[in-house]
Structure 1
Amino acid sequence: MRRLCLSLAAVCLLPGIAWGDGARKPVTVTPILSTATTASGQPIALPAGPVTVGVSRYVIEPGAKLPVHKHPSQRYAYVQAGNLTVYDVDTGQRFDYKPGDFIVEVLDQWHYGENTGAVPVELLVIDQTPAGTTVNTVTKP
């Protein structure tokens, strides 16, 4: 017991190890987004039962335009670089995203995106689909 107390005291006295040195915190949490709805205002809907989480990296070159498509299951994206514009074909809405933005994509609505900037768009994309399913994009015929 005495050894444990001495060990804890030593850790507490070491500056910058567990509690920071006053100038810099060892862990910083910056909220990016908190929402219960998609970009177009739909409630976020997850598949019933077990889900498969898929993570992909997308790079969209300047001027490139994605085909019109929809997602039957929830998709999220974090914009790491570039400027992305998404057009919701069903509602006519336009969404402009820049680095640092977190996107809760529209659910089961036809839409497309395009790189409207001069540098590649880099996205970290997260899909939540029914267990065993890996495809979450349906392109318009």
Structure 2
Amino acid sequence: MLALQGVTLGAVIALTDNHRPFAELEWWWEWAMFFTGFALLLAAIVLAVVALVPRVTSEKPSKREMRDYIYFGHTRLWKPDALEDELRKPVLSVLARQLIVLGRISWRKHYLVKYSVRCYIGSGALLTATALIVNFWG
């Protein structure tokens, strides 16, 4: 999605060159449609980037986080024998805690992607309408 949004951004910028549709905006409402569409496109890109940024830190996790050893970032710090001993204990509470945390992260990323797609569709509609208006009725 981000690649498509980047290509669209490049195309919009290219269409602002001389004798191109977005270079010949005359009326205030044409400018308003263009800038609103462009702002929605930028918002879509920012939302997609925020959704894609991994939530991994290079810092050493806290003692509580180390008890949540199901996360791959924490397992890298365990010794095989110690992790094996820990996995022999009841792990349901650790699993439940990790599922809740991962569910919250996934839900947030889902919403960011959903709003990114909505902004992208809105920007496409506005920018296309602006280009058509300028070319055919301008």
TM-score band, normalised by shorter chain: under 0.3
TM-score w.r.t. the length of structure 2 is: 0.20
TM-score w.r.t. the length of structure 1 is: 0.20
Higher RCO, 1 or 2 (CA under 8 Å, sep at least 6)? 2
Larger strand fraction of residues? 1
